[in-house]
């Protein structure tokens, strides 16, 4: 039986290579492949801030590595990778699709770009969509890798 890619289970925003400024790469990896992935990605791209954060998705056995890359070094998005945004104060990662779904959920079905979200409710969470449904993935830091 062929295993689906870890990121295939989540809907992906359309990725535009030209629009990677101020975006965080979020790559799904298996626990046994974390170190190999970090080595490979650090050889392929210029990692900004020389840090890769490895997060464990609680109660799932899945892991994600998050990192920023220098735009000139990006000619392709790595496999099993989505681009996310981050609320630094609460360590919340989210896609635009997930943000829109969250606003609809909290605002009676209406997407309003001025709607205020209490990000404290989503501390240490990745917000993604799966077949159009909002998913909350609780995370904890597994390790921080200094390159």
pLDDT at 19 over 70: no
Q: Residue 100 in 3-state DSSP?
A: helix
Q: Is the pLDDT of residue 48 over 80?
A: yes
Residue 61 lies in a domain: yes
Residue 9 within a domain: no
Q: What is the pTM of this model?
A: 0.85
Q: What is the per-residue pLDDT across 119-143, written as a single tens digit (0 to 9) for each?
A: 999 999 999 999 889 999 999 999 9
Residue 35, domain member (yes or no): yes
Residue 74's domain comprises 20-146
Which tens digit of pLDDT belongs to each residue from 66-118?
999 988 778 888 999 999 999 999 999 999 999 999 999 999 999 999 999 99
pLDDT for 75 equals: 80
d(CA 86, CA 93): 5
Dihedral sign, Cα of residue 73, residue 75, residue 76, residue 77: positive
Q: Could you tell me if residue 28 is inside a domain?
A: yes
Position 1 in a domain: no
The token duo for 80 is 């099993």
Element (H, E) at 126: strand 125-130
Number of domains in the chain: 1
């Amino acid at each position: 039986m062929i295993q689906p890619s870890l990121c295939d289970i989540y809907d992906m925003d359309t990725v535009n290579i030209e629009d990677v400024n101020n975006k965080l790469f979020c790559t799904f990896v298996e626990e046994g492949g974390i170190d190999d992935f970090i080595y490979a990605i650090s050889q392929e791209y210029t990692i900004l801030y020389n840090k890769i954060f490895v997060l464990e998705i609680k109660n799932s056995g899945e892991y994600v590595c998050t990192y920023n890359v220098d735009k000139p070094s990006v000619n392709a998005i790595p496999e099993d990778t989505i681009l996310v945004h981050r609320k630094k104060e609460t360590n919340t990662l989210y896609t635009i699709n997930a943000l829109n779904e969250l606003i609809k959920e909290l605002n009676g079905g209406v997407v309003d770009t001025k709607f205020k979200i209490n990000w404290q409710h989503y501390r240490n969470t990745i917000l993604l969509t799966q077949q159009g449904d909002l998913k909350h993935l609780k995370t904890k830091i597994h390790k921080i890798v200094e390159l």
